[in-house]
Amino acid sequence: MNLPPIVRMLLWPISLLYGCGARLRAWLYTHGWLKQERLKAPVISVGNLTVGGTGKTPMVIWLAEQLLADGKHIAILSRGYHGSNGTSDEIELMKLRLQGRVAFGVGKNRFAKGQRLENTQPIDVFLLDDGFQHLRLRRDLNILLMDASRPLHGEALLPAGRLREPVSAMSRANLVVFTRAEMAPGAQEAIAKLSTFPVFAASTRLQGFRRFGGEMRLQSAGEIGAGPFLPFCGLGNPEGFWNDLARWHVPVAAKKAFRDHHRYSNGDVTGLERAAEQAGAKAFITTEKDEQNLTEAQSFKRPVHVAVIDFVLSSESECLAAIDRVLASRLGAVA
């Protein structure tokens, strides 16, 4: 959120009121003035302190894969922001990657969605997507994601800045994961010095490229051609995608960012083709999330390659052990 200084100054009083409201709301839940609702199965929340992308969806997918490998029945609860008919681009991406192996409850009342799932099928663990501020639903493990490439020092609260809550809200976290650690020199060393709660570093790794509208087979960077390419995306943090492409040594002729969760129209496709023609780009590159928002767009004249990534966590075994301890504690208490 790159607002001009004068705009930030004008919005500061509103941010001050917003921060007071956020603190009061958290205090009311913490002290029982506002009721938290509990599901039968343990709940693991994945969220962040800021607007914009920090890698929540890849983290939820990673967690689901780990828990599925352990033989657990998993359900994902999500608000489904900027979606309709019980889905969104992020929901569809998770469904694509998890291939029907987990249940989904999508809607504003995630407790009601979770209850409905528990009444119809066995659920061992709920994953609460983007749940750090969803205090109404009680959770057993709070995982907080922070983008190592976008430090919070000096960042303001909404609407003047990116913060959804004051930085002090970190105290609610049981476990912190710094994403995009590969983009922040010295991040690993700084993370190692934090001792308030378990802290881990995560990075993105390119699995390959999938042809939009084609088969699911992945191609390497060398197989999609020499380019140059025109990457486009509608993400909360497009700079993260541009940086990934540079790290993967993908030649870029030009690039185009849209608003987060943008649904592409035929007019957008025409504009992208025009930009590619002017820049001399041979093909397009986009993200898996954006792929879910291209369904209503007309066919591209140039190839569109979808970058498929996975989530790599440092000290993976330690992180899983911390999660297992929480789940064992909850299940033991229930028994």
Q: What is the pLDDT of residue 335?
A: 46
Q: What is the pLDDT of residue 173?
A: 94
Same structural domain, 211 and 256 = yes
First-to-last C-alpha distance (Å) of the chain? 47
Same structural domain, 61 and 141 = yes
Q: What is the pLDDT of residue 188?
A: 60
Same structural domain, 263 and 166 = no
Same structural domain, 57 and 9 = yes
Same structural domain, 177 and 188 = yes
Q: Name the stretches of the chain with pLDDT < 70.
A: 1, 82-84, 184-195, 330-335
Say if residues 215 and 224 touch (Cβ distance below 8 Å): no
Say if residues 282 and 229 touch (Cβ distance below 8 Å): yes
Q: Supply the range of the domain harboring residue 162.
A: 5-203+313-334
Q: Which of 303, 325, 309 is nearest to 59 (CA)?
A: 309
Tell me the two tokens of residue 263: 């649904």
Same structural domain, 144 and 285 = no
CATH of the domain at 232: 3.40.50
Same structural domain, 302 and 321 = no
**How many other CB atoms sit within 10 Å of the CB of residue 296?**
10
